[in-house]
Amino acid sequence: MIKKVRSHPTQNELLLFELSSPGKKAYQLPPLDVPAVDPAEALGEGNVRAEIEGFPEVSEVEAIRHFTRLSTWNYAIDLGLYPLGSCTMKYNPRVNEVAARTEGLEWIHPYQPDSLSQGAMEIMAALERALAEITGMDAVTLQPAAGAHGELTGIFLVRALLESRGNPRRRVLVPDSAHGTNPATVRMAGYEVEHVASNDRGMVDMAALERMVDDDVAAMMVTNPNTLGIFEDEIAGIARILHAKGALLYMDGANMNALAGIARPGDAGADAMHLNLHKTFSTPHGGGGPGAGPVAVKAFLEPFLPLPRLLRVDEGWRWDYDRLKSIGRVRAFHGNFGVLVRALAYILAHGGEGLKRATLDALLNACYLRKLLEPYYEIAYSSPSMHECVFSDRRQAALGVPTGAIAKRLIDYGFHPYTVSFPLIVHGALMIEPTETESKRELDLFADAMISIAREAEENPELVTSAPHSTRTSRVDEVAAARKPVLKWSPRG
Amino acid sequence: MIKKVRSHPTQNELLLFELSSPGKKAYQLPPLDVPAVDPAEALGEGNVRAEIEGFPEVSEVEAIRHFTRLSTWNYAIDLGLYPLGSCTMKYNPRVNEVAARTEGLEWIHPYQPDSLSQGAMEIMAALERALAEITGMDAVTLQPAAGAHGELTGIFLVRALLESRGNPRRRVLVPDSAHGTNPATVRMAGYEVEHVASNDRGMVDMAALERMVDDDVAAMMVTNPNTLGIFEDEIAGIARILHAKGALLYMDGANMNALAGIARPGDAGADAMHLNLHKTFSTPHGGGGPGAGPVAVKAFLEPFLPLPRLLRVDEGWRWDYDRLKSIGRVRAFHGNFGVLVRALAYILAHGGEGLKRATLDALLNACYLRKLLEPYYEIAYSSPSMHECVFSDRRQAALGVPTGAIAKRLIDYGFHPYTVSFPLIVHGALMIEPTETESKRELDLFADAMISIAREAEENPELVTSAPHSTRTSRVDEVAAARKPVLKWSPRG
Amino acid sequence: MLETLGLARMEDLYGHLPPDVLLNRALDLPAGKSEYEILDYFRARGRENAVGFASFLGAGVYCHYRPVLVDAVVSRGEFLTSYTPYQAEISQGTLTAIFEFQTMMCQLTGMDVANASMYDGSSALAEAALMAMRITGRNRVVAARTVHPEYRETLRTYGRFSGMEIEEAGYDSESGQADLTDLERRLSGDTAAVILQSPNFFGIVESVKPAAELAHRAGALLVVAFTEAVSLGLLAPPREADIVAGELQSFAIAPSYGGPFAGILACREKFLRQIPGRLAGETRDSNGNRAFCLTLATREQHIRRERATSNICTNQELIALMATVFMTVYGKRGLRELAEQNLAKAHYLGTKLKRRFTGPYFNEFVAVSSDPEGVNRSLKGRRIIGGLPLRRHYPEVEGALLVCCTETAKRADMDAVAAEMNSR
Amino acid sequence: MLETLGLARMEDLYGHLPPDVLLNRALDLPAGKSEYEILDYFRARGRENAVGFASFLGAGVYCHYRPVLVDAVVSRGEFLTSYTPYQAEISQGTLTAIFEFQTMMCQLTGMDVANASMYDGSSALAEAALMAMRITGRNRVVAARTVHPEYRETLRTYGRFSGMEIEEAGYDSESGQADLTDLERRLSGDTAAVILQSPNFFGIVESVKPAAELAHRAGALLVVAFTEAVSLGLLAPPREADIVAGELQSFAIAPSYGGPFAGILACREKFLRQIPGRLAGETRDSNGNRAFCLTLATREQHIRRERATSNICTNQELIALMATVFMTVYGKRGLRELAEQNLAKAHYLGTKLKRRFTGPYFNEFVAVSSDPEGVNRSLKGRRIIGGLPLRRHYPEVEGALLVCCTETAKRADMDAVAAEMNSR
Ligand SMILES: Cc1ncc(COP(=O)(O)O)c(C=O)c1O
Ligand SMILES: Cc1ncc(COP(=O)(O)O)c(C=O)c1O
């Protein structure tokens, strides 16, 4: 029985281009206080464009209604549990949004003189300090724009270091449970990917690792807890094996939400790692970003960090561009500053105690859900779960109800689905990360829904495989979308 | 066929008191920077309360989800046409909201010295000037909090004036088409209400008026255009009749959206009138306020206006409390300042030209809808419509489908209903005010819906009378609610 | 669209209006401005007011922290741009919030029934007095002079034309509380209501119970007003009152130069039919689901017209919603802690200054000074707005400032005020 | 919940972790703060930056008006707090907006396909170069030195480890445009891409067409970058390009000290399979209704892993949405008028100053000064931030400032800059 939602009318809406009618406008500019200039004269005929074919023309009320109506077609954290495994969809305090909109922070130009940017630089310095303390590392760059960008920066650092030692080496090890960005990153840094098998405990197979690591291995990328939500308890051993052969341990810190305040990757032997500020340190995901992927490193990698670096001098902070060993910039300007502000606001709000409490609540919620669901769904690995738990659809798939169908059916029950079919090493994975900000009530409702779907899979599989039944948009044909892609609106439809 | 909406799941939600669990919190206060004080000691045992029985305790995410979920159960201007007759539910530019939140306007105390309030006082003075120009009156008070409050202030002014002339008189005339606040106001000012019948053109019956006006009549309250959306074209004559007997003409300016920029009540003989800033001059209605109901008067009523008044002196603006004839305050402080800011922002954005254009568009939209619907619904009066048009349900009621049912059925079609059963002199009134901010597309969709419902009334009345069928909450039992009122939550349910 | 109407020009839309009422010129207003110019204009006006000053003004308008959630909620178009919830099936969001608001108001005030809001505290008080007249059939009202002066002025304006006779009872020049003996002396067989405010205008907690006994003994109702809603987090609710009228500005509403705020009326069950304003009630929909709707409309102007309990129509719903979010964020413990912080701050400064009255005070008090204006003048130089000089409203209380300290008052600023006042 | 798990203490939740990895002390961070203290902290930091200065800085980050609608839209929780729209049935809002964004990007750039966003313009340009390498199977890239210096630095970092060889072509010291003869000289059989930026870093409009011919003749692709999106309202779109990489910060995104912004990649249809990043496509739902979903995921890391077109995952969707609202508000005529105002302002000041280059410029230009630092120093005293000294990035262009004037530039401030610069 569905307890969480009821149906209600939601407004239909055309595309902007269909709404558009000539002459409508939603803007007004102040009158020009200087003489107008003839574009053709100033730029040359050939450089001036004709009107923008097909560009919309709507009124202000049509504009706000358009986006308001669209918004009502979305599910969101503000509406309920969003248990996407590996994505840490937690509630992000609204005060972060207000902080990021502070006039003196929002409207400052990256090229204004350091003397007029001290507040911004202090914020970045404070965040670097806090992240170093939380990760147990020595230095932090805030430049990368997202997790994958941080990974790339991290592997660049590894390669730059090894090159400076005379041999960049050829291979980077990646567990078969790794997130897709890991192998993709390795390739972008010019390395070959070598997959490391997981053992039956869902952890890196140490024996296999021993065999694989030689002095042609540049590094290993380890996610800890890994994408199964399992803590790699041999992590220190992994570091030892790598270090013994002159290879580095890169840690994917996307799951730091499971460790903040209780364990520090730096203490466990990681040489470099990135953090997903938009996950652990709370920037709303905004339908796909923005985020920030700071990279924290041990001292010996610090000289290679992207430039510029913050430098403390008598007058205050200065940007230091004079860094010979730096890999250079990984993007223009100083990083996603607005996201950095939100992250610092989050850390200030929690303090050390609060960060630990949040971590514990994240573990509690994940373990609680696992406990409630284990009788109905097959847990992928028996090892204890940290901040997320991963099930397999084996039992339901046998009834013709794969993980993807269960996910769609969850929508009818008023929830956003979990992460589907990842990690790849699990047969039909159901990857569930509730995060610390969910209440017991919401978790119980979710468990009820999952259990009820398990029953439906037995009694009425068709009901599940044809879901969702309640949404304004029924099952979307993704195959057709990919077969002949229509990626933009055009007048003839 | 319903083109405007499709069904989609909306989240259910408990009441705060049901969500609440002990120990949860959504607040944090800065640490106290002074010694704590023992309440019992400072205030005396008896003055200190026990804990607030039943008061909620929820987390921050529960709080924001609670109100976000609730909000999705509402219809709103941001979602579509809201054709409530007499309510002028137009789109209110969002810039008004930003203006009202300007730090130096939002966080100022009404008692801070005039020398530290000049900006606020200048805003009020500028608005008074603009409203006087728009209405054709000589002086304006911004103190009243809403239209009805303005009416009350206006009739108080009439009475104070007449008392100062020696005889307050006993009766105030009110057309039978008047809004309920008019007669209610008359009584609150200690007058008796006398109803003036409307003629077959939907206007004040001049002959009847002639007969009724004697020197015991204090004033007449006229709404123009009246609640039928019809312009009282004898308005000047009405004024003459009243003035000849020493009575005053009070104009209910709630429908000023039909006149701004094309006609001024002051020029037509009105002695006093109120404006609904939250209608004509755009403050979002907020589910029932706040608004503001400034009163504009001719010079001879100025001495009686509520105190304090703005006074221009060399140093700038000053609040003048020294006004012997004033009726005194109608509320504490200076009025709904935040609403006044929005109104001035609206007037600045439009300018004289823009206000007239808005008026013309309001007339156009109303007349257009009338034209489209006249074949299917019986127009109440043949006189031309101004900013709204009023139909009677006679034709549909004969089929067992009264105006109330048609209204509920509109909900299934994705629209907010029109104003139902008002004005009272129309049999089963359908009172439709589209306002100027609606697009032709939205109006056409509305007309389609109305026409389709007219057809349903003939072919399948039951479908209409049992509406709405698509909402998360079906037809609400208002009779039961009134029979044994439950006006607050209590633990036992 | 004009074609559809068979018209040539937009002006034809009002061609039927008599020429003599038409405006035969353009309105004399500046040309329309862009939103950037508009915001510049208001920012410029804002800079002409005191910005970034520390302030010790209270007197009915209090500066409290506003949780960021309040704005996040009321900025949602579904709340901001909806009308009064007449159509229950598509207004359950607003109706549910009103029902929760009414409930919390009852929990705070100890009354049985609360309405959905009034314009403000002062008009709510005036309506309470009119309500008492209707209930008792009497026409005299005795109000303590410790009630906010502008509330009493509003009461007088409302009363003047409705046959209300208003008497004011003095206060004990020692304690600063209403003088109950004087008050009792003024009671008579046609007294409809006794009106007290607690904490009163001087910031002092009144003794509601004995006042209730006096009033009831005389067959009158006790109306208790409040201007500082935060005090309800700590003070005993006025259970002995028959009607409570208050101002909710303290619940997350910016001072905004005096409005918009939200008034509230609450009363005992038995007076329900006489309460003005909107009421949301619980009921069921045709599927048996819990639902809410506006109810008892037969009290209101749109049904009852001249026999309505009041002419109020549009009220202050969005402000009441802000207060509801505020109460939700602070909750049971938070409101208490907030009130205790106010108490502590006020007493920190209060004990440093020479106070005029001895009665128990919450977050404001009357401080004595040989030269109040002088004090404020030099504080202004330090970007501090001092207390409110009482001269205008209470000439008899010479050389006094009404000083308020909320949780936002900083110790350093309070020390500065103390130094300044004690230096004379 | 602990009971359900059969645990006694919260700490038992990680009892299975090896002790040697545990942090056996509390984190060395200050205690948690209230939102009021947090906002005070950031406001204090904000005051340590330039606030309320007039600024003539551009150079890749432009200060334009932001329509208030933008914030109203992105503040809606349904957009703000949703994830990447993998589950199409409950993400149609975001997906529809992305589809509209992609369409408008194609309309502006003249390309056939545009993705849903990249991190920023600089990383988008680097990805464009990598894309060109994949398409052509070649490994050399020739970039004009008139491309934003930090974009070229980013390109170098990306290129360094991916076997990309980067050459830089000079510019005409007269016109300030890329020197196409020098550029042509550097083309060879293994040139994958020629990279231009227009308007270029000096604010000068490049001649895309001839560059395209050169590139194509050599079997290379032409990649055109832009940093000032507003210019697309007026300038001919780079139709002759094969790939367009740009930065959308100008579309309602605050400078925010350099981010978050939103990059964009657009290309010709035939290169579709090589474009990185998210793509929203049109399709149908099982009821035949139009619907949208993320598509061609086989290009992406979560499906293709090490064979993906890029490792990009989270991008800048909310910023792209802001840009979408911006484009909607301004629309066809508005974007043109906005661009024309920028043109007029820049030329007002540009004609008053001694300009270093003669090529056509849009809203910024290089002004010559005997003492750039001196000029900026004295402007700073008048709360004006002058242009960007070129010394660091273009030592050969001595004594020069890159000056930008958008629609927000006030005539009085421009006059002040002119007076200051011409006084030396
Ligand atoms: C384990 C893991 N690593 C890396 C990433 C990539 O981070 P981002 O999406 O910020 O690029 C993610 C995000 O999905 C992740 O879950
Ligand atoms: C004609 C008319 N008069 C008066 C009023 C009362 O105005 P308010 O609701 O602002 O008190 C209204 C509002 O509904 C109205 O339509």
| Bridge partner residues of D118 (DSSP) | D263
- Report CA torsion sign: A344, A349, A355, A359: negative
- The CA A424 to ligand 1 mean position distance, Å, reads 15
Q: Taking the model in full, what pTM does it have?
A: 0.98
d(CA C206, CA C144): 10
Question: Which ligand sits closest to the CA of D312?
Answer: 1
Single out the residue of D263, D241, D297 nearest to residue D116, CA to CA. D263
- Residues touching ligand 1 (Cβ under 6 Å) are A 86-87, 146-148, 179, 181, 223, 227, 252, 254, 276, 291, 293; D 313-314
Between β-strands B171-175 and C165-169, what pairing exists: parallel, antiparallel or unpaired?
A: unpaired
| pLDDT over threshold 60, residue B286 | yes
Between β-strands A295-297 and A139-141, what pairing exists: parallel, antiparallel or unpaired?
A: antiparallel
pLDDT at B432: 98
D17-61 pLDDT, tens digit per residue, is 999 999 999 999 999 999 999 999 999 999 999 988 999 999 999
A435 with A90: CB under 8 angstroms?
yes
* Residue in D34, D68, D77 closest to B95 by CB: D68
3-state secondary structure at position B184:
helix
| pLDDT over threshold 90, residue A492 | no
D68 in contact with chain C, both atoms CB, cutoff 8 A: yes
Residue B91's closest chain A neighbor by CA? A61
- Report CA torsion sign: A266, A269, A274, A275: negative
Chains B, D: CB pairs < 8 Å? 20
d(CA B26, CA A144): 33
Rg of chain D over all Cα atoms, to the nearest angstrom: 24
3-state secondary structure at position C393:
coil
Q: 3-state secondary structure string, B268-317?
A: HCCCEEEECCCCCCCCCCCCCCCCCCCEEECHHHHHHCCCCEEEEECCEE
pLDDT band at A411 (very low <50, low <70, confident <90, very high): very high
C-chain CB neighbours of D65 within 8 Å are: 36
3-state secondary structure at position B97:
helix
D-chain CB neighbours of A49 within 8 Å are: 232, 234-237
Write the CB contacts of D305 (distance below 8 Å, at least 6 apart in sequence): A180, A183, A184, A193
* Residue in D33, D68, D77 closest to B68 by CB: D77
- The CA A154 to ligand 1 mean position distance, Å, reads 14
User: Of D36, D70, D78, D407, which to mutate for an interface test with C (greatest number of C Cβ within 10 Å)?
Assistant: D36
| Ligand 1 atom nearest A178 alpha carbon | 1
pLDDT at A266: 98
* CB-CB neighbours of B300 under 10 Å: 12
* Residue nearest atom 10 of ligand 2, based on CA coordinates: B147
Residue B9's closest chain A neighbor by CA? A7
Chains that touch A (3 or more CB pairs under 8 A): B, C, D
Closest CA–CA distance from residue C380 to any residue of chain A (Å):
26
Q: CA torsion B24→B29→B35→B40, rounded to 10°?
A: -50
The DSSP call for residue B192 is E
d(CA D82, CA A75): 6
Write the CB contacts of B470 (distance below 8 Å, at least 6 apart in sequence): A7, A8, A9, B5, B7, B411, B412
Per-residue pLDDT of chain C (424 residues; tens, 9 = 90+): 999 999 999 999 999 999 999 999 999 999 999 999 999 999 999 999 998 899 999 999 999 999 999 999 999 999 999 999 999 999 999 999 999 999 999 999 999 999 999 999 999 999 999 999 999 999 999 999 999 999 999 999 999 999 999 999 999 999 999 999 999 999 999 999 999 999 999 999 999 999 999 999 999 999 999 999 999 999 999 999 999 999 999 999 999 999 999 999 999 999 999 999 999 999 999 999 999 999 999 888 888 888 999 999 999 999 999 999 999 999 999 999 999 999 999 999 999 999 999 999 999 999 999 999 999 999 999 999 999 999 999 999 989 999 999 999 999 999 999 999 999 8
Give me the numbers of helices (H) and strands (E) for chain D, helices first please.
Answer: 13, 14
CA distances from D347 to A37, A43, B275 (A): 8, 11, 47
Closest CA–CA distance from residue C264 to any residue of chain A (Å):
29
C4 in contact with chain A, both atoms CB, cutoff 8 A: no
pLDDT at C398: 84
Task: Quote the distance between the C-alpha of residue C162 and its chain's center.
Answer: 22
Closest CA–CA distance from residue C230 to any residue of chain A (Å):
23
Output helix, strand, coil percentages for chain B, rounded to the nearest 5: 40, 15, 45
Mean pLDDT of A24-43: 97
pLDDT at D161: 92
pLDDT at B318: 98
3-state secondary structure at position C260:
coil
Output helix, strand, coil percentages for chain D, rounded to the nearest 5: 45, 15, 40
The maximal CA–CA distance of chain A, rounded, in angstroms, is: 77
pLDDT at D398: 84
Between β-strands B192-196 and B171-175, what pairing exists: parallel, antiparallel or unpaired?
A: parallel
B402-438 pLDDT, tens digit per residue, is 999 999 999 999 999 999 999 999 999 999 999 999 9
Mean pLDDT of A444-450: 98
- Residues touching ligand 2 (Cβ under 6 Å) are B 86-87, 146-148, 179, 181, 223, 227, 252, 254, 276, 291, 293; C 313-314
Chains A, C: CB pairs < 8 Å? 20
Mean pLDDT of B55-60: 98
| Contact flag C31-B353 (C-beta cutoff 8 Å) | yes
Closest CA–CA distance from residue D218 to any residue of chain C (Å):
49
| Contact flag A68-C34 (C-beta cutoff 8 Å) | no
CA distances from A184 to A136, A254, B310, C69 (A): 27, 16, 70, 40
B230-244 pLDDT, tens digit per residue, is 999 999 999 999 999
ω before A308 within 30° of 0 (cis)?
A: yes
B9 in contact with chain A, both atoms CB, cutoff 8 A: yes
d(CA A140, CA D275): 31
Task: Quote the distance between the C-alpha of residue B337 and its chain's center.
Answer: 17
pLDDT at D399: 92
Closest CA–CA distance from residue C150 to any residue of chain B (Å):
5
| pLDDT over threshold 90, residue D164 | yes
* Residue nearest atom 9 of ligand 2, based on CA coordinates: C314
D128 with D193: CB under 8 angstroms?
yes
* Residue nearest atom 8 of ligand 1, based on CA coordinates: A147
D367 in contact with chain A, both atoms CB, cutoff 8 A: no
First-last CA distance in chain D: 75
Task: Quote the distance between the C-alpha of residue D144 and its chain's center.
Answer: 18
Single out the residue of B359, B414, B354 nearest to residue B388, CA to CA. B359
* Strands ordered across the beta sheet of C191-197: C113-114, C263-267, C243-247, C221-226, C191-197, C140-144, C165-169
d(CA D243, CA D220): 11
Closest CA–CA distance from residue C224 to any residue of chain B (Å):
15
Task: Quote the distance between the C-alpha of residue B407 and its chain's center.
Answer: 20
| Contact flag A416-D94 (C-beta cutoff 8 Å) | no
Single out the residue of D244, D249, D211 nearest to residue D229, CA to CA. D249
* Residue in C34, C68, C72 closest to A29 by CB: C34
The residue assigned the tokens 């009439």 is: B158
* Residue in B10, B68, B414 closest to A6 by CB: B10
| Contact flag B471-A9 (C-beta cutoff 8 Å) | yes
* Residue in D35, D69, D77 closest to B28 by CB: D35
A459 in contact with chain B, both atoms CB, cutoff 8 A: no
CA atoms within 13 A on the CB side of A169: 26
Between β-strands D221-226 and D191-197, what pairing exists: parallel, antiparallel or unpaired?
A: parallel
| pLDDT over threshold 60, residue B493 | no
D317 with A288: CB under 8 angstroms?
yes
C-chain CB neighbours of A68 within 8 Å are: 77
| Bridge partner residues of A320 (DSSP) | A309
pLDDT at A1: 84
d(CA B159, CA A246): 97
First-last CA distance in chain C: 75
- Report CA torsion sign: C17, C23, C26, C31: negative
| Bridge partner residues of C118 (DSSP) | C263
C-chain CB neighbours of B348 within 8 Å are: 30, 32-33, 37-38, 41
Question: Which ligand sits closest to the CA of B184?
Answer: 2
| pLDDT over threshold 70, residue A493 | no
C297-352 pLDDT, tens digit per residue, is 988 888 888 899 999 999 999 999 999 999 999 999 999 999 999 999 999 999 99
* Residue in D33, D68, D289 closest to B94 by CB: D68
Is the backbone of residue C127 left (phi > 0), alpha (psi -120 to 50) or beta? alpha
The DSSP call for residue C206 is P
| Backbone phi, psi, residue B12, to 5° | -75, 165
D-chain CB neighbours of C35 within 8 Å are: 67-68
D240-285 pLDDT, tens digit per residue, is 999 999 999 999 999 999 999 999 999 999 999 999 999 999 999 9
pLDDT band at B492 (very low <50, low <70, confident <90, very high): confident
Percent share of chain D, pLDDT over 90: 96
- Tokens of residue D422, six digits: 């011409």
